[in-house]
Amino acid sequence: MNLYEQAFLTLYFLVLLVLCFYGSHRYKMAILYRRHKTKAPQKTLSLEDSFSTFPKVLVQLPIYNERFVVERLIEQVAKLRYPKSALLIQVLDDSTDDSHEIAQACVTHYAEQGIPIEYRHRTDRKGFKAGALEAGMKAQQDYDLIAIFDADFLPQLDFLEQLVPHFTDPTVGMVQARWSHINREDSLLTQAQAILLDGHFMIEHTARNRAGYFFNFNGTAGIWRKSCIEEAGGWHHDTITEDLDLSYRAQLKGWRFIYRNDILAPAELPIEMNAFKNQQHRWAKGSIQVALKTLPLMFRSSQPWSVKYESFCHLTGNIAYLMMILLSLMHPFALRLRIDHGWRETVLLDFPFFLGATVSVLIFFGLSQLEVDAQKGLKRLKYLPAVLGIGIGLTINNAKATLEALMGQQSPFVRTPKWAAGDQTQGKALLSNVYQGSRGLMPYFELALGLYYTLTISYCFQEGLWFALPFMLLFQWGFLYTAWLSFFQAYFLQKKHIKDSP
């Protein structure tokens, strides 16, 4: 083995080592979940029995160009069960299109019916969502609790009744509900997204919260104590995941968070690949931004080392996408080593990756499906290969986001387009191009890698490298599927709706 091969193998091994590190963390989450899943938050009394005077709740609805879902959101939130004398719904609208007129008319309609609701419109959009939330909170100083719902959510009517009683404990700063999915059955893409989110919300959140680690508010479907927000320094907009940032700052101040995985908040999944990628880009970039901002504070804090370690894994997890880029480029070249040096030595290189990354994904997300829905969970396991493939297909998109964060490149808060999934206005949304996710150059790179793996698969057949073939096919499918949907999915969605329309 010459010097170049040794250098290649050293780098290849280091890449696999990092991927196995983050992959093994999924095992830890699964084990912690199994160990602590029965330790549910202490049951609370009913809302009426919990308080002599109901805490005043401000429900904030941050809106930006949501013409297809804003009416649905306001209509649902207006039905929330809570004493009207202690409630105010605040529509925080930064829209620059006709969503502004739709939302204002809707607010006027419900205000005339006696619903405590107000409309606030900003024209500068300073601080994006974080700025809107901060401005709304400062405009209403006498509210104790703040509930937040994004435009694609349809909270259950007893949401406040279920979560507000937890704030009888003065140490509780935030209570988060679990997301569920209005349109998970729409397509293979939405099925895969639902599984990805189920892993986060059912396994990770439950495990972290009940094991005593930090977990985060997810930007929506939760309730904050206003004094907790203020003590933590308020909403900051120097990252594009203001929810994650505030969560860590608040918990470092000693506030306790509660996660209710039994309370569901139905929401819409992006139905189009470019919108999904934009969402993932924001989450990946924001988590690294928060890591750079918060981890120095965490490591200087008096938190136990187990909490510091878990926070490091949580906030830096998207570093794995940079490693996946290297692996995607190096993997085919590693096949040559199989031929030159035999199977036994080279399989030893791939086995840790298979065990630490691939198997951990299957176990982690498989467990999430069995726990979310015991009856349908087994049937949904068939989508796990698609989850693996789409995760691979996101590599370039999320690696770019991670690099931007590490290099300090700032970017605006890019909203995730909504299509009113499951609603009668969905067809109108599909036919409109105004909210389509931006495509950019990423699909061209994904297509190039897909073709690169097509050539690699041909090489596997020529050399009889059958053991490597499933991996190569998975990488090929992931990149080509992501590229294909990025280029053509919006067109086919529109065409299908026109065909199905009467």
- Domain locations in the chain? 3-33+318-500
Q: Which two tokens stand for residue 490?
A: 């919006």
Q: Which two tokens stand for residue 105?
A: 């008319």
Residue among 177, 276, 282 nearest 223 (CA): 177
Please say if 245 is a catalytic residue.
no
Are the C-beta atoms of residues 6 and 343 closer than 8 Å to each other?
Answer: no
Axis crossing angle, helix 359-372 with helix 3-36, rounded to the nearest 10: 20
pLDDT at 436: 59
Please say if 97 is a catalytic residue.
no
CA distances from 182 to 113, 258, 268 (A): 28, 24, 5
The one catalytic residue in 243, 245, 350, 423 is: 243
Q: What per-residue string of b and e applies to 46-61 under the rule 16 or more CB within 10 Å gives b?
A: ebeebeeebbbbbbbb
Residues of the chain whose pLDDT is less than 70?
A: 1, 338-354, 422-438, 494-502
d(CA 158, CA 148): 15
pLDDT at 497: 59
Residues 6+ apart with CB under 8 A from 213: 207, 306, 307, 310, 311, 314
Are the C-beta atoms of residues 41 and 52 closer than 8 Å to each other?
Answer: no
Residue among 368, 337, 350, 343 nearest 474 (CA): 350
Phi-psi region of 463 (alpha: psi -120 to 50; beta: other; left: phi over 0): alpha
Question: pLDDT tens, 267-295?
Answer: 999 999 999 999 999 999 999 999 999 99
Are the C-beta atoms of residues 234 and 134 closer than 8 Å to each other?
Answer: yes
What's the pTM?
Answer: 0.93
pLDDT at 418: 80
Helix (H, G, I), strand (E, B) or coil at 87: strand
Residues 6+ apart with CB under 8 A from 451: 480
Question: What torsion do the CA atoms of 344, 347, 351, 352 make, to the nearest 10 degrees?
Answer: 90
pLDDT at 16: 87
**Identity of the amino acid at 453:** Y
